[in-house]
Amino acid sequence: MTDAPSTPVIEIRDLHKSYGQLEVLKGVDLVAPRGHVVSLIGSSGSGKSTLLRCCNLLEESQQGEIKFEGETVRWRGTGHDRHPADRAQVTRMRTNLSMVFQQFNLWSHMTILENVMEAPVTVLKRDPREVEEKARHYLAKVGIADKADAWPAMLSGGQQQRAAIARALCMEPRALLFDEPTSALDPELEQEVVKVIKALADEGRTMLLVTHDMKLATDVSDHVIFLHQGKIEEQGPPDQLFGNPQTERLRGFLSATAA
């Protein structure tokens, strides 16, 4: 592994993913340079979330190359028999790619502070006292320091999602992966989470963001990828993609989302 600034945090080449006979990703390339925000947009079923899960090795792909900070995922087998060859490598990479899901996935039997501390303590084997200090820092960062001792059921959806972001940050990952982080929220609560994501982007964090919110993609992205039926239809800087779309499919998608 290398920390050279020129080495992308995530690099994917010619990725193919199928569920049985259904081909969901049909040869996708993606590069997430250090400190950049890459947003994935497209209709439901276009492959956005699947691509994100393949990045994090939560899904196994059948063909293509995945690199994390210049290190290539090692595979054994081919096609539907292809699996990661080194579980330790998968664990190491996954702990550096924290994912925030659409549903908050907080443990209901743990306080918010305990939820945020859980993975660094149990997975990374960090000292609980040090982790608690960091956890409280990240809860303050997302604006819910006063909810540390509350149970998830006592929080609004926006507060729960901010707790989930604090939990991801407490792993101190090299990249954050967001899978539709605001789509389960009411518009008012959505803005709480959008504000946090914008602040993280302003800090120069490396992020992959699957979103239905075109304004958020415009505001935070360095690069936007429009997926259609498992292929990249169009990509580029947000001002180019949203201001001057080149393909009929993207124009149609943007007009539908604006309606």
Q: Specify if 154 maps to a domain.
A: yes
Q: Specify if 116 maps to a domain.
A: yes
The model's pTM is 0.93
Tens digit of each residue's pLDDT (9 = 90 or more) over 180-228: 999 888 888 899 999 999 999 999 999 999 999 999 999 999 999 999 9
Residue 223 CA to residue 9 CA, distance in Å, equals: 14
Give the structural domain span for 119.
Answer: 107-172
Q: Specify if 59 maps to a domain.
A: no
Of 82, 37, 38, whose CA–CA distance to 59 is shortest?
A: 82
Of 109, 108, 98, whose CA–CA distance to 170 is shortest?
A: 98
Q: Specify if 245 maps to a domain.
A: no
Structural tokens at position 53: 């899960």
Q: Specify if 161 maps to a domain.
A: yes
Tens digit of each residue's pLDDT (9 = 90 or more) over 25-82: 999 999 999 999 999 999 999 999 999 999 999 999 999 999 999 999 999 999 999 9
Structural tokens at position 95: 């702990």
Contact indicator for 196, 142 with CB cutoff of 8 Å: yes
Q: Specify if 229 maps to a domain.
A: no
Q: Specify if 250 maps to a domain.
A: no
Q: Specify if 140 maps to a domain.
A: yes
Structural tokens at position 174: 């090299």
- pLDDT for the residue 2: 41
Q: What is the mean pLDDT of the chain?
A: 94
Domain count, the chain: 1
